[in-house]
Amino acid sequence: MNDDSQILIARLLTHQTLRRDDKMVKRVLSDDTFRAEVDKRLLESGLKLLDNVYADHVTLALHRAVEPKIFGAKDIWQNNNFGLTRDGVALLVVLWAQIILPKRERQETHTSIVDDQNDMFDKDNPIPRAEDTSVGISYTALLSDFGDKLGKKTRMDMNLGVLSKLNFIERRGDVIFEGPLLDLMMDTDVLKERIINGALADVFKRAPLAIARRRAPDAMAAALEEPLNESIDDTPTEGSHVPH
């Protein structure tokens, strides 16, 4: 095995995530030959490198081809190995919609969270980093908007603790921020479509996105009035993370 490939894979297995500005990560994202070597070695173990330009980290996940053999047959399918309960998965989806969707909009429009102004002249520049565009949400507001639908304070606090340990979120006082895995492990293409055209369809059809975001909690809370269905359980993650 190429020494650098071996070292990078071992580091990812050990640390779970690495920053995109890490020297070896930058190389695997820009050097096609090195990337092919890493991908080949990972595939031999049923794994893949998971990254996207909107996230500040990369991680490893199970390759789709091996998921059925790991998670079981269709009738007993386990969507991940995070051990999340149904209300925990629902909370994860809510946090993703509240944090990641607005962040993606800022990144795509090159809007800074510092001055919240559009950069009209630098659209060809690289997409801004997550840490420059991601805004946290208030725990108090989250509890007020969704507490009754997601098990009240005790259950929400327990699930937030689990999500924090899993690196989906980071808590700093009363504010909940994006963790290294929140924009990596969620199946964005599927979730965005289901949220915008599903739980939030009436909101997004009637109002501009900025207004819709402010009205989203009521719409999502209303959607959660119904029992959590299986579609929530089998769509949130891109594949399992690798325990360490």
Alpha-carbon span 176 to 168, nearest angstrom: 10
Residue 229, pLDDT score: 40
Range 213-242 average pLDDT: 50
Residue 74 amino acid letter: K
**How do residues 62-121 score in pLDDT, each as one tens digit?**
888 887 777 765 554 455 556 778 888 889 888 988 898 888 888 887 776 665 544 444
What band does 210 get if pLDDT is binned at 50, 70 and 90? Answer: very low
Q: Show the 3-state SS of the chain.
A: CCHHHHHHHHHHHHHCEEECCCHHHHHHHHCHHHHHHHHHHHHCCCEEEECCCCCCEEEEEECHHHHHHHHCCHHHCCCCCCCCCHHHHHHHHHHHHHHHHHHHHHHHCCECCCCCCECCCCCCCCCCCHHHHCCCEEHHHHHHHHCCCCCHHHHHHHHHHHHHHCCCEEEECCEEEECCCCCCCECHHHHHHHHHHHHCHHHHHHCCHHHHHHHHHHHHHHHCCCCCCHHHHCCCECCCECCC
* Lowest-confidence region among 45-49, 56-60, 152-156, 229-233: 229-233
Long-range pairs, 74-83, Cβ under 8 A, ≥24:
77/234, 79/233, 79/234, 79/235, 79/236, 79/237, 80/236, 80/237, 80/239, 80/240, 80/241, 81/240, 81/241, 81/243, 82/162, 82/166, 82/237, 82/240, 82/241, 83/162
**How do residues 143-167 score in pLDDT, each as one tens digit?**
998 888 888 899 999 999 999 999 9
Residue 178, pLDDT score: 92
Residues sharing a CB contact under 8 Å with residue 82, sequence separation 6 or more, in sequence order: 162, 166, 237, 240, 241
Token pair of 113 as six digits: 């969270």
Distance of CA 240 to the CA centre of its chain: 12
CB atoms within 10 A of CB 84: 21
C-alpha dihedral sign at 199, 226, 188, 142: positive
Q: Average pLDDT, whole number, for the chain?
A: 76
Residue 211, pLDDT score: 43
Residue 186, pLDDT score: 76
Residue 124, pLDDT score: 57
Residue 22, pLDDT score: 96
**How do residues 6-25 score in pLDDT, each as one tens digit?**
999 999 999 999 999 999 99
Question: Does 241 score more than 60 pLDDT?
Answer: no
Question: Does 202 score more than 60 pLDDT?
Answer: no
Residue 141, pLDDT score: 92
Residue 204, pLDDT score: 45
According to DSSP, the β-strands at 57-62 and 47-50 are antiparallel
What band does 49 get if pLDDT is binned at 50, 70 and 90? Answer: very high
Residue 201, pLDDT score: 52
Residue 234, pLDDT score: 45
User: Is pTM, for the whole model, over 0.75?
Assistant: no
Give percent above pLDDT 70 in the chain. Answer: 64
Residue 73, pLDDT score: 56
